[in-house]
Amino acid sequence: MNQLDALRQWTTVVADSGDFKQLSASKPQDATTNPSLILKAVQKPEYRPLLDEAVKKHAGKPIDEVIDRLLVRFGTEILTLIPGRVSTEVDARISFDTAATIARAERIVAMYRAEGIDTGKRLLVKVASTWEGIQAAKALEQKGIHTNLTLLFSFAQAVACGEAGVKLISPFVGRIYDWYKKSAGAKWDEAANAGANDPGVKSVTEIFNYYKHFGIQTEVMGASFRNTGQIAALAGCDLLTISPELLAELAASNEPLKHALDASAAKSLDIPKKSFDEASFRFALNEDAMATEKLAEGIRAFAADAVKLEKLMGAA
């Protein structure tokens, strides 16, 4: 049994890609997209016609609506190739505006429904894990719109998401690893910080155990992997969203894969209950330099790629 098949025994495998033509090889259950992945895809000759089609078909409409149309076009194509859900992201530039996030999410859902998609079962709307984003997700979940809280780097963000009743969170393993490695500089010991000791893996493990210990229904989906070792160390997590390149590596490896995270074992752990209101959430995030920096950096990067996508559309 290869590592990918072994992983599927305990974890739902999700493809992290806007390149839907690669999905048939890895046969994921779900798929996630973001503005950066869509931008990367539409710069390939085989996907450029989708951008041109969206611009032509919706000429005269506001550019933000045309972008959402393009994201939904990719999402509906992906849904023809997978049995599960696709995640589609709201514009990162409204990450600090609860009302705007709710409105944008509702518009994306309406677009999917117009395409005949059962959004209750097959769509997750991705929202940044800011305080405002979490409150938007809480309101959306109450309306039956399921959410995927992304750019999640801290325990405080995870606890707040669980309290809000969001469907799924995406803690970013690789970006946490990147920060600690850069911060350590020449003192970084790769071997000592691998596997279960990887700082990104430790973060997801803490969140997973907390959720399972307290019976929190929010799904945990590890994301942003740098290597297959990080993936192996999280075998047993509810879901893992993995790039096509790393999926291929897992499929090509027959190295043994162990069940790392165990929901049943988490029940017996001694874990204190936490709760955050807005003030305590903001302070906890402020105290976590890594999470503060990576959240801001992630929002800036997604926002920059949204602008690049707009420019491509303007030139189409």
- Asked about 40 being catalytic, the answer comes back as no
User: What is the rounded distance in angstroms from the CA atom of residue 64 to the CA atom of residue 50?
Assistant: 16
User: What is the rounded distance in angstroms from the CA atom of residue 187 to the CA atom of residue 269?
Assistant: 32
Strands (E), the chain: 12-16, 30-32, 86-89, 123-128, 147-152, 168-171, 219-222, 239-242
Q: How far is CA 262 from CA 11, 68, 156, in A?
A: 11, 38, 22
Sorted by sequence, the CB contacts under 8 Å of residue 54 that are 6+ apart come out as 66, 69, 70, 73, 313
Amino acid at 24: S
**What angle separates helix 48-57 from helix 35-42, to the nearest 10 degrees?**
100
Cβ contact 295:285 at 8 Å:
yes
Cβ contact 220:237 at 8 Å:
yes
3-state helix vs strand vs coil in the chain, percent to 5: 55, 10, 30
H helix intervals, 115-262: 119-122, 131-142, 155-164, 173-184, 199-213, 228-232, 244-252
Cβ contact 169:152 at 8 Å:
yes
**Catalytic pick among 27, 57, 61, 126:** 126
User: What is the rounded distance in angstroms from the CA atom of residue 272 to the CA atom of residue 28?
Assistant: 35
How far is residue 258 CA from its own chain's centroid? 24
The set of catalytic residues is 126
